[in-house]
């Protein structure tokens, strides 16, 4: 990521040395236990740099919301059923902030020219 991209990260996000971004939620996402065990709680995500394959694998037929969800799940390692269920329980502000983090990986800074 370049310095221009770092300026686009939402509050609660920090760049790691490996290029990934850690985002801490404004409120935890909780998946209640269904069998008397412990609830699953997610308080942060580490979102890695995307690869072309991530974009291809996230693809759907014209469903941009599902594409964005699948890409975020892939980049944060939340690809199993429990992970995806937890992701669906994120507060809307946290979900949108995580999408801003993903978008920051594609931002090349201010465009110039026509």
pLDDT in tens, 23-64: 999 999 999 988 888 999 999 999 999 998 898 888 877 788
Q: What is the pLDDT of residues 73-90, one digit of tens each?
A: 999 999 999 999 999 999
Instruction: Return d(Cα 97, Cα 25) in angstroms, integer.
Output: 9
Identify the pLDDT of residue 41: 94
**Model pTM?**
0.78
Angle, alpha carbons 42-74-78 (nearest 5°): 25
> Half-sphere exposure of residue 63, counting CA atoms within 13 Å on the CB side?
9
Domain boundaries, the chain: 3-104
Q: What is the pLDDT of residues 62-72, one digit of tens each?
A: 788 899 999 99
Instruction: Return d(Cα 46, Cα 97) in angstroms, integer.
Output: 13
């Amino acid at each position: 990521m370049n310095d221009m991209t770092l300026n686009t990260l939402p509050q609660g996000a920090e760049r790691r040395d490996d290029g990934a971004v850690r985002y801490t939620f404004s409120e935890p996402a909780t998946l209640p236990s269904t069998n008397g065990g412990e609830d699953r709680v997610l308080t942060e995500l580490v979102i890695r740099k995307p690869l072309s394959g991530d974009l291809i694998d996230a693809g759907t037929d014209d469903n941009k919301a599902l594409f964005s969800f699948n890409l975020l799940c892939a980049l944060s390692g939340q690809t199993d059923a429990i992970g995806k269920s937890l992701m669906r329980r994120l507060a809307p502000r946290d979900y949108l902030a995580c999408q801003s983090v993903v978008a920051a990986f594609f931002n090349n800074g201010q465009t110039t020219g026509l």
